[in-house]
């Protein structure tokens, strides 16, 4: 008989005690030490059935929410079939963080805005009415969206999962699209995700790869190691000769939520994957950019990062 705690019991514990669920602890520990998340915390770490991968009917893959980033990066089936998820998992943060940080924790972490992370500063995310970053230092802020908070969403893996049309598994509920964890980003949400405190993310489901698809991940960062991306993008392309038959493109670091980019995809499908067409498709992201005074640089960086991901996926990227 299993000695692991029941998920229903853990949900009930959170409701009874308040506080938060905790997975790998890399974000909750940082927030607790800074005084913005005092707990109590209900640990998920002892639930082994939430770790690892398992094949799904039809060629898909299920990944448990407690699977570490390091395990994702090293998994041979993930590297082969879903490389644009394995690649960012292997470049996130530091080796120490990747060894402890989990898929679920990455999807449900809080933003890195220094005003939010300061226990002595009030902000919309902590129940206030304003955003001090909007009038203060926001050079790492959003370049797209009109919500009350200007901190970009921090989850790299959420962005990659959007491009793979992945589903999120919530204990006691039917699977839902990963995008449903976040909403549109412009609403009056006082969190970086919409999952209720007592609900447990148990895993994600990846559909089977398309035959012959190519995928790439690219990020722009301000230093080479242990840095959050300024902008990042994932691209998946399927080609018939040189004609794009399927495109899925997503971006992170630019809005309150990870973004799927249907305008870029529409500019590619049915067209030749020429350098000019890839550039024209990537330029479509500029239509959604509404920079803040200090984030104008991100508009160009957004376009260029998407273009680099497209070029890599199409096999056209130059050595840089």
Q: Which residue is listed with tokens 């079939």? A: 81
What is the percent of the chain where pLDDT is above 70? 97
pLDDT exceeds cutoff 60 at 272: yes
DSSP assignment of 224-285: SSS---SEEEEEEEEEETTEEEEEEEEEESSSSS-EE-HHHHHTTTTSB--HHHHHHHHHGG
pLDDT the model gives residue 271: 98
CA triplet 86, 92, 95: central angle to 5 degrees? Answer: 100
Is 225-313 CATH 3.30.390.50? yes
Of 18-27, 96-105, 239-248, give the lowest mean pLDDT range: 18-27
C-alpha to C-alpha distances, 264 to 119, 192, 239, 268, 275, nearest whole angstrom: 40, 25, 16, 7, 14
Of the pLDDT bands very low, low, confident and very high (cuts 50, 70, 90), residue 226 is low
Chain centroid to CA 222: how far?
19
pLDDT the model gives residue 46: 81
Tens digit of each residue's pLDDT (9 = 90 or more) over 278-292: 999 999 999 999 999
pLDDT the model gives residue 73: 97
What is the percent of the chain where pLDDT is above 90? 77
Mean residue pLDDT of the chain comes to: 92
pLDDT the model gives residue 320: 43
* Helix H or strand E segment including 163: helix 156-163
pLDDT exceeds cutoff 50 at 318: yes
pLDDT the model gives residue 21: 87
pLDDT the model gives residue 13: 79
CB 131 within 8 A of CB 148: yes
Mean pLDDT over residues 8-17, rounded?
82
pLDDT the model gives residue 122: 94
Residues in Cβ contact with 233 at an 8 Å cutoff, skipping those fewer than 6 apart: 159, 217, 218, 219, 249, 250, 251, 252, 305, 306, 308, 309
Of 98-107, 147-156, 182-191, 214-223, give the lowest mean pLDDT range: 182-191
Tokens of 267: 């500019």
Of the pLDDT bands very low, low, confident and very high (cuts 50, 70, 90), residue 1 is very low
Length of the chain (residues): 320
> Is this prediction's pTM over 0.75?
yes
Tens digit of each residue's pLDDT (9 = 90 or more) over 256-268: 999 999 999 999 9
Of the pLDDT bands very low, low, confident and very high (cuts 50, 70, 90), residue 76 is very high
Tens digit of each residue's pLDDT (9 = 90 or more) over 21-72: 899 999 999 999 989 998 899 888 888 889 999 999 999 999 999 999 999 9
Domain boundaries, the chain: 225-313
C-alpha to C-alpha distances, 117 to 32, 66, 133, 222, nearest whole angstrom: 10, 25, 12, 20
CB 80 within 8 A of CB 38: no
pLDDT exceeds cutoff 80 at 189: no
Tens digit of each residue's pLDDT (9 = 90 or more) over 132-183: 999 999 999 999 988 899 999 999 999 999 999 999 999 999 999 999 999 8
At residue 201, the 3 state secondary structure works out as strand
pLDDT the model gives residue 94: 84
Tell whether omega for the bond before 40 is within 30 degrees of 0, i.e. cis.
yes
């Amino acid at each position: 008989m299993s000695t692991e705690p029941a998920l229903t019991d853990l949900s009930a514990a959170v409701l009874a005690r308040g506080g938060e669920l905790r997975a790998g602890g890399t974000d909750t520990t940082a927030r607790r030490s800074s005084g913005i998340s005092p707990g109590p915390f209900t640990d998920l770490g002892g639930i082994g059935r939430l770790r690892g991968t398992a094949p799904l009917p039809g060629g898909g893959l299920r990944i448990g929410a407690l699977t570490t980033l390091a395990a994702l990066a090293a998994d041979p089936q993930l590297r082969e079939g879903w490389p644009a998820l394995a690649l960012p998992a292997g470049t996130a943060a530091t080796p120490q963080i990747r060894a402890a940080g989990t898929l679920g924790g990455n999807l449900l972490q809080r933003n890195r805005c220094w005003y939010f992370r300061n226990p002595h500063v009030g902000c919309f995310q902590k129940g206030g009415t304003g955003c001090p970053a909007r009038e203060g230092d926001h050079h790492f802020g959003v370049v797209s969206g009109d919500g009350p908070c200007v901190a970009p969403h921090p989850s790299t893996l959420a962005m990659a999962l959007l491009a793979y049309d992945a589903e999120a598994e919530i204990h006691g509920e039917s699977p839902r699209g990963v995008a449903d964890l976040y909403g549109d980003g412009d609403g009056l949400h006082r969190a970086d995700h919409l999952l209720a405190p007592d609900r447990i993310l148990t895993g994600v489901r990846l559909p089977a790869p398309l035959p012959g698809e190519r995928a790439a991940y690219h990020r722009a960062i301000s230093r080479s190691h242990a840095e959050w991306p300024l902008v990042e993008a994932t691209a998946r392309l399927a080609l018939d000769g040189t004609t794009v038959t399927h495109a899925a493109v997503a971006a992170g670091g630019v809005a309150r939520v990870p973004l799927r980019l249907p305008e870029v995809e529409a500019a590619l499908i049915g067209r030749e994957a020429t350098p000019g067409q890839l550039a024209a498709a990537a330029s479509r992201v500029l239509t959604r950019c509404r920079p803040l005074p200090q984030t104008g640089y991100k508009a160009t960086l957004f376009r260029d990062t998407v273009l680099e991901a497209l070029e890599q996926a199409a096999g056209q990227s130059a050595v840089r």
